[in-house]
Structure 1
């Protein structure tokens, strides 16, 4: 019984001795870390205000602000460890070995980060532009270190890992797209009049852009008709609606001006013994 009391007394004395020797240092280290958190936030806000004058892209500015916060917090953490008497060189060596192992285990994540940095600094596309990449397309909504988010015309969202984007063929439409509409007219049509009608309705249409100038030209001489290519530019949000509206406007304008859109025709010959019948033409 006396041995247990002696052991308990010894433990209490050791605990009190450790508290007296290291307690103030631990409290000071905690205070330094807390101060580092607040200092990092303040430095991040100050850096954000400073970077705003350089008109940087939002992802770039956000990345730089995070780096400033991490650096400030890391500086205060080093100060806290030094206050505790921790040897930093062995700690740094151990962190290096652990970091190498973590890097091997997280190759996919790290490749996304590297690709994200490449996208952010080379700027192959920006937020708000319409792009087509890896078989998908949409309007760029957000660019982060790990992925790029596209909004699809069907109101869904596409999240593409950045490593799938870098190194692929990218089609960047920007903020406007070009419609590609083909309309056929009969061979006896006054082409100058038909082209003028199309140009007139494009100029009056609220969704089609006047600059760049729309392309309206004869593109194909088909067997039974002449094809007119109509290629106006529209804003990315108006692309789907504008296609249907322009098609409808062309049909109505041609009908009101008696410009014929011919139906496909085929010529069929019926052969009999003793001669040919007259050819029959079907639509």
Structure 2
């Protein structure tokens, strides 16, 4: 019984000595970390306002602000460790060895990270633009460090790893897209009249842009018809709906004005009949 009491008394004495010795240092270290958190937020807001004045894109600004905050917090964390008397050189060496192992185990993730940084700094596309990449296409909805999110016209979302984007052929349509509608008319059609009818219906459509100017030209002389190319511009958001609207409007306008859209025809002659 006396031995147990002595053990408890010794443990209590040791705890008090440790609290007296390290308690103030631990409290100061916690205060340093709290101060680092608030200083990091303040420096982050200041950095964000400066980068906004430079006209940088939001994803790049967010990345740089996060890096600044992490650096500030890391500086205060080192100060807190020094206050506790931690030897930093062995700690840094251990972190370096662990970091090398993690890098080998996460090559794919780090590849996406490197590609994401490349996208953010080179800016081959921006949010809100319509792109085609890696056999996928859609509106750029978000650009992350590890992946890029596209919104598809069918209301689905496409998530592409950034390493699949960097180094590939990218088709960036921007915020505008050009329709490609081809209509056939009979050879006896008054071509200027047909072109004028197309211009009128395009000018009346609310989603067709007049600048850039719509491209309306005779495209080819086919076997049984004259092909006319109709290539106006619209926003990327309205592309698919407007393509259908223009095709329907052309059909209705040609019917109203008596312009014939011929069926495929082929003339067959029989020679040497008995």
Instruction: Give the TM-score normalised by structure 1.
Output: 0.93
CA distance in 2 between counterparts of 1:236 and 1:255 reads 29
| Secondary structure at 1:155 match in 2 | coil
- Alignment-derived partner of residue 57 in structure 2: 57
CA distance in 2 between counterparts of 1:38 and 1:213 reads 54
CA distance in 2 between counterparts of 1:126 and 1:74 reads 31
- Alignment-derived partner of residue 184 in structure 2: 184
- Alignment-derived partner of residue 259 in structure 2: 259
| Secondary structure at 1:75 match in 2 | helix
Shift of 1:9: 2.1
List runs of 5+ in structure 1 lacking aligned partners.
277-283
| Secondary structure at 2:238 match in 1 | helix
Is the contact between residue 178 and residue 233 of structure 2 (CA under 8 Å) also seen in structure 1? yes
Shift of 1:50: 2.0
Shift of 1:256: 1.5
1:36 equivalent in alignment to 2:36: yes
- Alignment-derived partner of residue 108 in structure 2: 108
| Secondary structure at 2:137 match in 1 | strand
CA distance in 1 between counterparts of 2:70 and 2:180 reads 50
- Alignment-derived partner of residue 159 in structure 1: 159
CA distance in 2 between counterparts of 1:101 and 1:234 reads 51
- Alignment-derived partner of residue 280 in structure 1: none
* Number of residue-to-residue matches in the alignment: 274
Matches within 5 A, 1:20-99: 20-99=20-99
Q: Deviations over 1:143-199 (max 9, x none)?
A: 111111111111111111111111111100000001111100011111122112212
Shift of 1:40: 1.2
4+ residue runs of structure 1 moved beyond 3 angstroms?
A: 266-271
Is the contact between residue 130 and residue 139 of structure 2 (CA under 8 Å) also seen in structure 1? yes
CA distance in 2 between counterparts of 1:220 and 1:78 reads 73
Shift of 1:106: 1.2
- Alignment-derived partner of residue 279 in structure 1: none
CA distance in 2 between counterparts of 1:177 and 1:51 reads 31
CA distance in 1 between counterparts of 2:154 and 2:266 reads 39
CA distance in 2 between counterparts of 1:96 and 1:226 reads 71
CA distance in 2 between counterparts of 1:269 and 1:214 reads 42
Q: Deviations over 1:52-84 (max 9, x none)?
A: 211110001101110111011011101100100
Is the contact between residue 224 and residue 266 of structure 2 (CA under 8 Å) also seen in structure 1? no
List runs of 5+ in structure 2 lacking aligned partners.
none
RMSD: 1.5
